[in-house]
Copies of this chain bind each other. A is one copy, B any other.
Amino acid sequence: MRSHPPDQEHTDDNMLKVEVNLDDTPGEWLGYVMEKLFEAGANDVYYTPIYMKKNRPAVQLQLLCSQQRLEDVKHIILTETTTLGIRYYPITVFRMERRTRVVTTEYGNVTVKEGLQNDIVIKASPEYEDCKQLAETHQVPLKDVYAAVWRILK
């Protein structure tokens, strides 16, 4: 097992929450929009089901990005969806100290993301993509790979 350098705990005051309500963009396009937004540097992109006027089931797109990314994010939303407007507000983001390490299971290596407080590991998440790949290679259930990691994490 080897350790990567830690990401320090910090509070980031430079972030924006961006949101748009969409009642005339087909759902089919929205998976694509999500991809583009991640590529443009959005930290988090997600959809929430909402209900709008005139009995319209609709979707709210929300994302988190830094002030610097706002123009890129706006550009994608305005060109790829049907909205004519965008809303945003500042939001503070606290992030735990993080580090990753690699653990060796019976199926192979899995990167684990750890969260620390006062130098103590208080949580550890196996990387989904690593687990998925091992599950497919070994033709075992995904949850068996996660379980193999958890056993090692003691």
Contact = CB atoms under 8 A, between A and B. Distances in A.
B82 A55 contact: no
B84 A56 contact: no
A92 interface: yes
**In the assembly, how many copies of this chain are there?**
6
Contacts of A78: 96, 115, 117, 122-123
B47 A74 contact: no
A53 B38 contact: yes
A64 interface: yes
Contact of A24 (B21, B27, B141): B27
A136 to B, nearest CB: 9
A101 to B, nearest CB: 15
A112 to B, nearest CB: 12
Nearest to A26: B24
A42 to B, nearest CB: 10
| A55, A87, A115, A128, most chain B CB atoms within 10 A | A55
Interface string A50-90: 11111111111000100000000010001111101111111
B45 A48 contact: no
A67 to B, nearest CB: 12
